[in-house]
Amino acid sequence: MRPFDTVVVVDWSAGKRAGPTPQKDAIWLGITREGGSLEPRYCRSRRDAEQALELLISQETVAGRRVLCTFDFPFGYPTGFTRHVTGSDDPFVLWDWFEAQITDAEDGSNNRYDVAENLNQMFDGIGPFWGKSHEDSWPDLPYRKAGISFDLFAEKRSCEGLSKAASSCFQMAFPPTVGGQVMMGLPTLNRLRRMTGACVWPFETWHDADVVFAEIWPGVIEKAVKSRLAQDGAEQIRDRVQVQLLADALARLPVSRLAEHMTDVPPIAREEGWIFGAGISDELNALAVAVSSVRNDCFALPQGVHWTPVDEALTMLRERLLPVTTTETVPLAQATGRIAAVDVTAMRANPPLPNTAVDGYGFAGGCGDGTHRWPLMKERAAAGDVPITVPHGMAIRVLTGAAVPEGVDTVILQEDVTVEEGHITFHGSLKQGSNVRRAGEDVQAGDVVLASGRIVTPADLALLAATGVSHVSVRKPLRVGVLSTGDELVEAGEPTTSGQIYDANRPMLLAMLARLNHQAVDLGRAPDDRDGLRAKLDAAAGQVDAIITSGGASAGDEDHVSALLEEAGAMGIWRIAMKPGRPLALGLWREVPVFGLPGNPVAAMVCALVFARPALAQLAGAEWAVPQGFDVPAAFEKRKKAGRREYLRARIREGRVEVFASEGSGRISGLSWAEGLVELSEPAQDIRAGDLVRFIPFGSFGL
């Protein structure tokens, strides 16, 4: 089966039109496209939601993306109900019936209780519909369930026994008011089905359909929702979290499991409908939990390996870390340096119309050798003018950037013509199409102009603006805490005793994170003491998405960072075949990734650039970026051990790369002296002056 590229989860509502501020119990759309979650959509009314869904589905299908759109209300009633009301067993006949009966005003007021009452009048005895907003209205709609016999058909559908959704389509009021949702949902669903050509699961053959509608019960991922809400705090809107997590979980369900589950429904589902995900709640929960947190084993290293090559370590990080940030939409002016959350497509071609590339004269067709004389119109075409029509055989004055007039496809440079009263003359040949820029020669409408995961540059803003894009969906910044560890550390400017040194790593790392467009959070210093450090990490875990520590990362007595991470489980001491860089301690503290860098400032900076930088970018939602270097003749000589990669502080002078005189890991002056790093590959041993070596400027690391 073809996988679904876009998954939509709709949290429906039977209520009145909601206010402009996003709130719970309104309609929410969770959308995951090609694995990335979009900002959930808040819809104030059913009409808004219907429009938004129609637009979304048509956009997705135009772009060739297959859509699974799920709704949180029943698509059918218990067996027997439909026949009694419509004379048919076909659920779509009932959908048509509801579409004809239900009225739904712009403000959300509607006639659902009247329709329920009318339905009750079709049956002998009391019910089956019950529950209403006013006890004294609608006499044929009982206020309570007592006395309803449910003898013609069951109170609930078969699938409702399977899931814990204990709701009945006949209950019109008091939570869970599923009955109202169905009545206020089916008309919309029926229209959307017509407008988009969607296939409805499990009523129709859905295997090859471009758009599939299915019924879902969001309660299946309650566990994941609870844990996310506990993390995110009170300001989060439950419905919003729920639709997003569920869309993400469905999108991550392996396609074979999805197909299996969609195929595996009993015959009764053809009439009653079925709840997608009813039997696989644990699986969906696990997927949703995984989305909301980092994989537990993301820092585990293969057993028995002593020295991991740099590239292998990087590949592991790349494969195991997922974005943890949410998204927001910002105007272009605020988008530079931010990470695009979705692919953005051109709203309009560039150029939108053919236009002239020079100041000159336009006419139709090319010219052969010889002298040419064109009568000249008195009008002219300048940039911004609406194109006029030039009669055949005439020329017109055109200025750079003007849309070429109708009847013109060729422009001659003004320097090449002689202008006389009422006509122009020039010599020599000119090819048809000269000096005219074709419409869309740069970008066509619908082309991707900004790829998801890209860090937006000033040049991107030009492209976005030129193609009519005014806002982009970007990732919220990753919050990264920085903590220095060591009893010897003092803040610069504070008094010291002998044996103490100033904390150099923290200001460096905080500034580095700010340059990388993360939200740097200063966590201060922690002593070499396990409880103190634990308290610091505990406090930090609630307020940041990742933590960088320096010091205490190896396996000595005072290396408490690695000891604590080990104690917490899910941690790896990474012995990487690299210099500088003693073991790195990578682990999770309360599900927050911790990068335990070595204490030596040189090693701390190099490890931060080589490992923490790409890993944090990935957590932030950016594409994996390899820092680009180039080969430059060496101005130095060096012997090194084969089998490990080395990074040297370096800079280019007069076309050759020089390295800092000392390789000492504590030589902070060398960091400041350098303008980049020389990267010596694992096999390299003997480097002589003039040999080409790889130089990576700090700019390539984003500094």
Could you list the residues that contact ligand AMP (CB under 6 A)?
484, 486, 488-489, 501, 503-506, 550-553, 598-601
Instruction: Specify which residues 455 forms β-bridges with.
Output: 339
Q: Closer to Mg ion by CB, 360 or 551: give it.
A: 551
Of Mg ion, ligand AMP, none, which one does residue 505 interact with (CB within 5 to 8 Å by kind)? Answer: ligand AMP
Number of amino acids touching Mg ion (CB under 5 A)? 4
Q: Closer to Mg ion by CB, 141 or 553: give it.
A: 553
Shortest distance in whole angstroms from residue 648 CB to ligand AMP? 19
Q: Which stretch binds Mg ion (CB under 5 A): 256-264, 349-357, 594-602, 603-611?
A: 594-602
Q: Closer to ligand AMP by CB, 340 or 585: give it.
A: 585
Report how far residue 548's alpha carbon sits from residue 90's, in angstroms, rounded to the nearest whole number.
60
Q: Which stretch binds Mg ion (CB under 5 A): 154-162, 388-396, 551-559, 569-577?
A: 551-559
Q: Closer to Mg ion by CB, 43 or 526: give it.
A: 526
Q: Identify the residue among 142, 185, 551, 572 touching Mg ion (CB under 5 A).
A: 551
CB 354 within 8 A of CB 404: yes
Q: Site residues for Mg ion, window 599-618 (CB under 5 A)?
A: 599
Other CB atoms within a 10 A radius of the CB of residue 100 amount to 9
Of ligand AMP, Mg ion, none, which one does residue 501 interact with (CB within 5 to 8 Å by kind)? Answer: ligand AMP
Written as one letter, the residue type at 92 is F
Helix (H) or strand (E) holding 246: helix 238-252
Of ligand AMP, Mg ion, none, which one does residue 273 interact with (CB within 5 to 8 Å by kind)? Answer: none
CB 137 within 8 A of CB 113: yes
Q: Closer to ligand AMP by CB, 450 or 571: give it.
A: 571
Q: Closer to ligand AMP by CB, 179 or 596: give it.
A: 596
CB 61 within 8 A of CB 196: yes
Q: Closer to ligand AMP by CB, 502 or 673: give it.
A: 502
481 binds Mg ion (CB under 5 A): no
> Parallel, antiparallel, or unpaired for β 36-37 and 27-33?
antiparallel
Shortest distance in whole angstroms from residue 561 CB to Mg ion? 9
Q: Which stretch binds Mg ion (CB under 5 A): 187-195, 292-300, 479-487, 636-644?
A: 479-487
| Closest by CA position to 646, among listed 668, 613, 679 | 679
Q: How far is CA 541 from CA 286, 480, 538, 588, in A?
A: 22, 10, 5, 10
Shortest distance in whole angstroms from residue 612 CB to ligand AMP? 15
Of ligand AMP, Mg ion, none, which one does residue 503 interact with (CB within 5 to 8 Å by kind)? Answer: ligand AMP
- Cis peptide preceding 202, ω within 30 of 0: yes
Shortest distance in whole angstroms from residue 505 CB to ligand AMP? 3
Q: Closer to ligand AMP by CB, 212 or 610: give it.
A: 610
Of ligand AMP, Mg ion, none, which one does residue 600 interact with (CB within 5 to 8 Å by kind)? Answer: ligand AMP
Q: Closer to ligand AMP by CB, 553 or 617: give it.
A: 553
Q: How far is CA 362 from CA 393, 419, 429, 430, in A?
A: 11, 13, 14, 12
Instruction: Specify which residues 645 forms β-bridges with.
Output: 578
Report how far residue 687's alpha carbon sits from residue 656's, in angstroms, rounded to the nearest whole number.
14
Shortest distance in whole angstroms from residue 593 CB to ligand AMP? 19
| Closest by CA position to 408, among listed 441, 430, 440 | 430
Show the CA angle centred on residue 71, arms to residues 65 and 72, nearest 5°: 150
> Parallel, antiparallel, or unpaired for β 471-475 and 327-331?
antiparallel
> Parallel, antiparallel, or unpaired for β 645-653 and 676-680?
antiparallel
Report how far residue 160's alpha carbon sits from residue 179's, in angstroms, rounded to the nearest whole number.
14
Of ligand AMP, Mg ion, none, which one does residue 598 interact with (CB within 5 to 8 Å by kind)? Answer: ligand AMP
The token duo for 500 is: 């103490």
Shortest distance in whole angstroms from residue 585 CB to ligand AMP? 10
CB 377 within 8 A of CB 395: yes
Q: Identify the residue among 486, 580, 593, 601 touching Mg ion (CB under 5 A).
A: 486
Q: Site residues for Mg ion, window 625-684 (CB under 5 A)?
A: none
CB 578 within 8 A of CB 641: no
Shortest distance in whole angstroms from residue 523 CB to ligand AMP? 12
Query: Looking at beta carbons, which residue is closest to ligand AMP?
Result: 599
Shortest distance in whole angstroms from residue 346 CB to Mg ion? 53
Report how far residue 276's alpha carbon sits from residue 608's, in angstroms, rounded to the nearest whole number.
45
Of Mg ion, ligand AMP, none, which one does residue 108 interact with (CB within 5 to 8 Å by kind)? Answer: none
Helix (H) or strand (E) holding 513: helix 505-515
Q: Closer to Mg ion by CB, 93 or 490: give it.
A: 490
Place of tokens 């639709």: 243
CB 199 within 8 A of CB 2: no
Helix (H) or strand (E) holding 658: strand 656-659
Shortest distance in whole angstroms from residue 540 CB to ligand AMP? 16
Written as one letter, the residue type at 314 is L
Contacts of 652 (CB under 8 A, 6+ apart): 632, 658, 675, 676, 695
Q: How far is CA 554 from CA 538, 558, 574, in A?
A: 21, 9, 9
Of ligand AMP, Mg ion, none, which one does residue 489 interact with (CB within 5 to 8 Å by kind)? Answer: ligand AMP
CB 392 within 8 A of CB 406: no
Q: Closer to Mg ion by CB, 219 or 552: give it.
A: 552
Q: Closer to Mg ion by CB, 182 or 597: give it.
A: 597
Of Mg ion, ligand AMP, none, which one does residue 581 interact with (CB within 5 to 8 Å by kind)? Answer: none
Q: Closer to ligand AMP by CB, 220 or 509: give it.
A: 509
Shortest distance in whole angstroms from residue 578 CB to ligand AMP? 15
CB 474 within 8 A of CB 329: yes
Shortest distance in whole angstroms from residue 485 CB to Mg ion? 6
Residues that bind Mg ion (CB under 5 A): 486, 551-552, 599
